[in-house]
Structure 1
Amino acid sequence: MLTDVSDHKRLIVLRHGKAAYPPVPDHERPLAQRGNTEAPAAGRWLVEQGYYPDLIITSDAVRTRQTTTWVLNELGDKAPTPYLDSRLYMAPVTRVLSVINEVEEQVRTLMLVGHMPWVQELGMRLASTESNEDAVLNMAERYPTLGMMVFDVPGEWASLDGRDANMTHFVVPR
């Protein structure tokens, strides 16, 4: 049976912008000047594609919160209030999947803002055989700061687990 694409959901996964390395705990590291300059491009790319998240869940680390703020500025009036989730900091990919699995089904477009290595590990785990091959290869080869994946998710958030989402894009907007 063919699935109606209008029933599909969208998952957007963004790695934070370029971080600075001041003498503070890792969790408290802010964006570097380059990160602050480039981060709005991620939000502009979303707007250009017409991708407006219903829900944004971000790691509670300073650099992810700052990246999210830049994205929200670009989304303008269509920006949701982000949810900070401490479980996304230093997370194994299984914990990230648990966070996704808890999302309410009425959320059509979910965005996560997080860190390496889980952003890349999540992409490797979720990408189905129907995914855009170039997007998957580029993501697997190198996942720089502000790297962003977009997935078409045909099922429920609660059942998302592995090889069951179609990666449509991997971009590094700058």
Structure 2
Amino acid sequence: MAEEIGTGGARRLVLLRHAKAERAGAVDDVLRPLRLDGRRQAGRVGVALRESDLVPDRVLCSSALRTRQTWDLLASHLGDVEPDVTITDTLYAADVADVLDLLGQTDARVRTLLVVGHEPTMAATATHLADPASDGGALAQVRVGVPTATYSVLESDAAWEDWGPRGALLTYVGRPTA
């Protein structure tokens, strides 16, 4: 990891539900690939993250095929960046506590962290972390769950290991359109 990563200020957590995958049934769940429209969704997420200055310094990605494909496709739209990427089985069947454990292990120099995972965990984590003063529309969305290729952005000045209940501001929930 490069030393020039982040120099202070708020840390930003981007929680992304993978893009649209093939229906369950033909293959094991962990091996479900993205559909064609899911592949397009993933690319649009990459463009949206780049245009919103949310290019990650570090990425935590579930080991499921659909999350890895989502990351690979969106990464191709981020420009000349090479974030530190960890593919982990932990995120495949994670709960909120698992995500918080992974956050707590994040290097203090990381300013923007992207987590590519699954529902209901991505929305539940955003709900758990969101301060009641967060954007009302965004908070309402994560409380009911998020569709595929939707990302939630949370900000806090706290060290990663100190992120906890209602300790971050949920500033945005986005789902890029065509």
Gap regions ≥5 residues in structure 2: 1-7
User: Is the contact between residue 120 and residue 145 of structure 2 (CA under 8 Å) also seen in structure 1?
Assistant: no
- Give the Cα–Cα distance (whole angstroms) in 1 for the partners of residues 67 and 13 of structure 2: 17
| Residue 96 (structure 1) aligns with | 99
1:70 and 2:73 correspond:
yes
What secondary structure, in the 3-state scheme, does the structure 2 residue paired with 1:137 have? helix
1:152 and 2:155 correspond:
yes
- Give the Cα–Cα distance (whole angstroms) in 1 for the partners of residues 12 and 101 of structure 2: 17
User: Is the contact between residue 45 and residue 149 of structure 2 (CA under 8 Å) also seen in structure 1?
Assistant: yes
Aligned pairs (5 A) from 1:30-69: 30-69=33-72
Aligned pairs (5 A) from 1:101-120: 101-120=104-123
User: Is the contact between residue 62 and residue 88 of structure 2 (CA under 8 Å) also seen in structure 1?
Assistant: yes
What secondary structure, in the 3-state scheme, does the structure 1 residue paired with 2:59 have? strand
What whole-Å deviation, never above 9, does each CA across 1:120-139 have from its counterpart, x for those lacking one? Answer: 11011000022111111122
What secondary structure, in the 3-state scheme, does the structure 2 residue paired with 1:7 have? coil
- Give the Cα–Cα distance (whole angstroms) in 1 for the partners of residues 129 and 80 of structure 2: 31
Structure 1 residue 81, shift from structure 2 partner: 4.1
What's the TM-score once normalised by structure 1's chain length?
Answer: 0.93
What's the TM-score once normalised by structure 2's chain length?
Answer: 0.91
Q: 1:18 to 1:76 in 2, by over 3 A?
A: same
Aligned length: 169
User: Is the contact between residue 124 and residue 142 of structure 2 (CA under 8 Å) also seen in structure 1?
Assistant: no
Whichever residue aligns with residue 112 of structure 2, its letter is T
What secondary structure, in the 3-state scheme, does the structure 2 residue paired with 1:11 have? strand
- Give the Cα–Cα distance (whole angstroms) in 2 for the partners of residues 51 and 124 of structure 1: 20
In structure 2, which of residues 129, 133, 150 is the aligned counterpart of residue 130 of structure 1?
133
Structure 1 residue 90, shift from structure 2 partner: 1.0
In structure 2, which of residues 87, 101, 104 is the aligned counterpart of residue 84 of structure 1?
87
What whole-Å deviation, never above 9, does each CA across 1:10-44 have from its counterpart, x for those lacking one? Answer: 10010000010251111111101110122111111
Of all paired residues, the percent bearing the same amino acid is: 33
Q: Which has the higher helix share?
A: 1
- Give the Cα–Cα distance (whole angstroms) in 2 for the partners of residues 117 and 135 of structure 1: 16
User: Is the contact between residue 129 and residue 165 of structure 2 (CA under 8 Å) also seen in structure 1?
Assistant: yes
- Give the Cα–Cα distance (whole angstroms) in 2 for the partners of residues 85 and 153 of structure 1: 24
Whichever residue aligns with residue 14 of structure 1, its letter is L
| Residue 5 (structure 2) aligns with | none
Gap regions ≥5 residues in structure 1: 1-5
User: Is the contact between residue 52 and residue 79 of structure 1 (CA under 8 Å) also seen in structure 2?
Assistant: no
Structure 1 residue 142, shift from structure 2 partner: 4.1
- Give the Cα–Cα distance (whole angstroms) in 2 for the partners of residues 53 and 129 of structure 1: 25
What secondary structure, in the 3-state scheme, does the structure 2 residue paired with 1:107 have? coil
| Residue 14 (structure 1) aligns with | 16
| Residue 3 (structure 2) aligns with | none
